[in-house]
Amino acid sequence: LSERLQSALAKLKGKGKVSEADVKAAMREVRLALLEADVNYKVVKDFVSKVRERAVGQEVLKSLTPGQQVIKVVNEELTQLMGGAQSKLELTSKPSVIMMVGLQGAGKTTTTGKLGRYLKKQNRRPLLVAGDVYRPAAIRQLEVLGEQVELPVFSMGDQESPVTIAEKGVAEAKDQDYDTVLIDTAGRLHIDETMMEELKAIKEKVEPDETLLVVDAMTGQDAVNVAESFNRELGLTGVILTKLDGDTRGGAALSVRSVTDCPVKFSGMGEKVDALEPFHPERMASRILGMGDVLTLIEKAQASVDQEKAKDLERRMRKQQFTFDDFLEQMDQVRNMGPLDEVLGMMPGMGQMKGMKNLQVDEKQLTRVEAIIRSMTREEKQQPDIINASRRKRIAAGSGTTVQDVNRLIKQFMDMKKMMKQFTSMSKGKKKKGFGK
């Protein structure tokens, strides 16, 4: 999935500008990638339409290229899809009871040990309860894990009913001052009535704070279906996705939350006891997009860079140092931002000057303007005063425009500068205006 998504988005990454068609094409590939990754069909449909809506919509951040912005939107929506914020365990009772449920082989027993270890590190005192009396050696398996993570295991052999064991386990915890009870239960190969009834009986008896479904991420869409039935029958407070280390497609991770409305609380990343991690939707999204923390970095940089740029620009305008380079930069932003008068409203000190008729330029004109400025030399851009008649002729030729076009632009620029000057002298003594705020 990562690869497919990355290649779909890579095409956008380098682009300075992204058209609606670009976004559409990228989204088509994103859609395919998700479907191939076994993400639920309805989830994919909603996801793609949300991203498309936002990507071609109004959200524009100045320091990101449009390509980066689409990626940012995809990342945000992926995060949202997986629940947005991290979902923590809610352990309130004393002792708090966590019941582990799931199909055979999903990783319940292993995860019980892992979670015990995790909670111990959070300064809790967990007791593990061996509630699987059916699978040969299941009790022994938990005891071995208990030794590894240095936690006590409560067991009553395989002759008592799981309900009794769970109940006695909780009583034992109360007695011995353990604050958390983790109950390992038996699974079946498939969901069946007997198993559900037994789990329901245990649940009724011990009233767990958390009923966690342990589900094998590698089973993809099946994992989602399993989560749906367990949630319907039993009521879940969370899901633990195991074997995410081997899950290359990511389908379960992506759809479990939105299909079942159950938050994924942890992920299993390997067979070892320390291979359990709280599930962070944002990190998972970034991992799927394969960009690690790059996006967060961009986000952080963006906030400061924008402000700095704006401040710098404002400073320069006040000193009448506004050059064609600044002009060009503003133009670039204009293209991505929409109506020029709105953009002008966002420029430092320009809010008051809306309706400057000679600055109402349309898209075609913008292209021409850009070409003209790009045909200027460095000096000309920085000191427009030196642009004499022969320079104007050269610029016109170089940009494929006419001298009149060049004249008009320079006049516009000079007018703009003059107005800024007026404005800055006008506003002297007044409070400084911020950038768009």
The pair of three-digit structure tokens given for residue 56, joined into one six-digit string: 């071609």
65 vs 104, which CB is nearer to ligand GDP?
104
The gap from C-alpha 308 to its chain's centroid, in whole angstroms, comes to 26
Taking CB under 6 A as the criterion, the residue among 171, 275, 305, 403 binding ligand GDP is: 275
Q: Find the part of the chain contacting Mg ion (CB under 5 A) among 106-114, 247-255, 337-345, 378-386.
A: 106-114
CB 196 within 8 A of CB 233: yes
Q: Find the part of the chain contacting ligand GDP (CB under 6 A) among 34-42, 265-273, 291-299, 301-309.
A: 265-273
Is 86 exposed, middle or buried (CB count within 10 Å of its CB: 0-12, 13-18, 19+)? middle
Q: Which residue matches tokens 């800024």?
A: 420
Return d(Cα 224, Cα 258) in angstroms, integer. Answer: 10
Q: Is 107 annotated as a binding residue?
A: yes
269 binds ligand GDP (CB under 6 A): yes
Among Mg ion, ligand GDP, none, what does residue 436 contact (CB within 5–8 Å per kind)? none
235 binds ligand GDP (CB under 6 A): no
As measured in angstroms, the least distance from the Cβ of 201 to ligand GDP is 19
Q: Is 104 annotated as a binding residue?
A: yes
Return d(Cα 237, Cα 209) in angstroms, integer. Answer: 8
As measured in angstroms, the least distance from the Cβ of 253 to ligand GDP is 12
| 257 strand-pairing partners | none
As measured in angstroms, the least distance from the Cβ of 218 to ligand GDP is 9
Q: How many CA atoms lie within 13 A of 409 on its CB side?
A: 29
Taking CB under 6 A as the criterion, the residue among 242, 258, 323, 399 binding ligand GDP is: 242
DSSP at 432: P
Closest to 385 (Cα-Cα) out of 327, 315, 324: 324
54 binds ligand GDP (CB under 6 A): no
Among ligand GDP, Mg ion, none, what does residue 36 contact (CB within 5–8 Å per kind)? none
As measured in angstroms, the least distance from the Cβ of 142 to Mg ion is 8
As measured in angstroms, the least distance from the Cβ of 280 to ligand GDP is 16
Return d(Cα 229, Cα 259) in angstroms, integer. Answer: 11
Q: Is 186 annotated as a binding residue?
A: yes
Q: Is 140 annotated as a binding residue?
A: no
Return d(Cα 286, Cα 300) in angstroms, integer. Answer: 15
As measured in angstroms, the least distance from the Cβ of 139 to ligand GDP is 11
30 binds ligand GDP (CB under 6 A): no
Nearby residues of 107 by Cβ (< 8 Å), 6 or more positions away: 214, 216, 240, 242, 243, 268
**Binding residues for Mg ion restricted to 128-147, rule: CB under 5 A:** 138
Q: Which residue matches tokens 């989830």?
A: 43
Residue nearest to ligand GDP (CB): 268
Q: Is 265 annotated as a binding residue?
A: no
Return d(Cα 162, Cα 184) in angstroms, integer. Answer: 10
Taking CB under 5 A as the criterion, the residue among 68, 109, 237, 255 binding Mg ion is: 109
Neighbours of 147 (CB within 10 A): 12
As measured in angstroms, the least distance from the Cβ of 135 to Mg ion is 6
CB 277 within 8 A of CB 269: yes
Taking CB under 6 A as the criterion, the residue among 52, 108, 249, 280 binding ligand GDP is: 108
Q: Is 365 annotated as a binding residue?
A: no
Neighbours of 220 (CB within 10 A): 21
Q: Find the part of the chain contacting ligand GDP (CB under 6 A) among 8-16, 21-29, 83-91, 240-248.
A: 240-248
420 binds ligand GDP (CB under 6 A): no
99 vs 259, which CB is nearer to Mg ion?
99
The string over 284-318, giving b where at least 16 C-beta atoms fall within 10 Å of a residue's C-beta and e elsewhere, is bbbbbbebeeebeebbeebeeebeeebeebbeebb
**Binding residues for ligand GDP restricted to 179-218, rule: CB under 6 A:** 187, 214
75 vs 185, which CB is nearer to ligand GDP?
185
Mark the binding-site residues, compressed into ranges.
102-109, 184-188, 242-245
Mark the binding-site residues for GTP, compressed into ranges.
102-109, 184-188, 242-245
* Footprint on this chain of ligand GDP (rule: CB under 6 A): 102, 104-110, 187, 214, 242-243, 245-246, 268-271, 275
